[in-house]
């Protein structure tokens, strides 16, 4: 798939991985990018300004992806602006830090909050943009996590939600075929504000330093490395229903 002159929607596109993906798309020639956000308006607008500096027609659009009605409204606005959508990057996500042994701390409220954003959010976006994606022969990339494969991560529900996203990827690959390809990227530890928010800057650096001892490539991934994987999958015309792990090879040493 050639990315030149395509239009894209990147959910959670104002910061971290989403921002890196949006910038990579613009550098690859995307003509228009809608940067979705739920609460970080200033970050989204800053990303939009960067995209415009690269010659890309971009705008920020607010929508909580867990809310199907708001996603439909977002889709209407995006399609009104661009006319069609070729690419959907389901990156919006959330978590709550709950120790795995603290089963009582994993309340129904937390469970539904994380699952609604991470799984239903991706489904809502796929549902709303599917007609246009089919018309354009487009592609979807879901941002999952290594936590979808292993019993780790910030909480049990986060891992379950990311495993569900991997299965959603496989099912959407069948449901939207043959016109639309659907793949996923599963990052390991990535140096983002998300991580420093969970662990603190010193805590994250200590964790990353210890982890690098077990990572074959001896580096901590940055958002740009995840973006490389997204761009790669978008260009693979005969690949669908697959997930690409981006963790410097750590998963092969577990």
Q: What is the C-alpha to C-alpha distance for residues 202 and 206, in angstroms, rounded to an integer?
A: 6
Q: Residue 221 has what DSSP assignment?
A: B
User: Which entry of 37, 149, 158, 254 is annotated as an active-site residue?
Assistant: 158
Dihedral through CA 216, CA 218, CA 220, CA 226, nearest 10?
-50
Residues 16 and 222: their CA atoms lie apart, in Å, by 9
Residue 118's nearest CA partner among 172, 157, 83 is: 157
Q: How far is CA 102 from the centre of its chain?
A: 28
Nearest CA to 140 among 249, 5, 6, 20? 6
Question: 162, 144 in Cβ contact below 8 A?
Answer: yes
Phi-psi region of 206 (alpha: psi -120 to 50; beta: other; left: phi over 0): alpha
Q: Two tokens at 112?
A: 């539904």
**Is 158 part of the annotated catalytic residue set?**
yes
For residue 227, give Cα distances in angstroms to 60, 115, 181, 198, 212.
19, 24, 17, 22, 21
What's the token pair of residue 54?
A: 């690269």
Active site residues: 158
């Amino acid at each position: 798939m050639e990315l030149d002159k395509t239009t894209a929607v990147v959910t959670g596109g104002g910061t971290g991985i989403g921002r890196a993906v949006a910038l990579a798309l613009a550098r690859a020639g995307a003509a228009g990018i809608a940067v979705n956000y739920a609460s970080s308006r200033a970050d989204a607008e800053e990303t939009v300004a960067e995209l415009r500096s690269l010659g890309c027609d971009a705008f920020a659009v607010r929508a909580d992806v867990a809310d199907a009605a708001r996603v439909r409204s977002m889709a209407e606005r995006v399609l009104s602006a661009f006319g069609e959508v070729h690419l959907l990057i389901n990156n919006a996500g959330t978590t709550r830090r709950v120790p795995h042994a603290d089963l009582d701390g994993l309340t129904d409220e937390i469970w539904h909050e994380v699952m609604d954003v991470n799984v239903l959010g991706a489904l809502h976006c796929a549902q709303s943009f599917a007609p246009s994606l089919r018309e354009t022969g487009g592609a979807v990339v879901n941002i999952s996590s290594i936590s979808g494969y292993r019993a780790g991560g910030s909480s049990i529900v986060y891992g379950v939600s990311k495993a569900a996203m991997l299965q959603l990827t496989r099912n959407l690959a069948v449901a939207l075929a043959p016109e639309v390809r659907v793949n996923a990227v599963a990052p390991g530890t990535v140096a983002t504000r998300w991580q420093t928010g969970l662990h603190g800057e010193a805590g994250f650096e200590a964790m990353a330093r210890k982890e690098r001892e077990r990572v074959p490539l001896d580096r901590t991934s940055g958002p740009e490395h995840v973006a490389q994987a997204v761009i790669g999958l978008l260009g693979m015309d005969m690949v669908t229903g697959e997930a690409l792990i981006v963790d410097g090879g750590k998963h092969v040493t577990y």
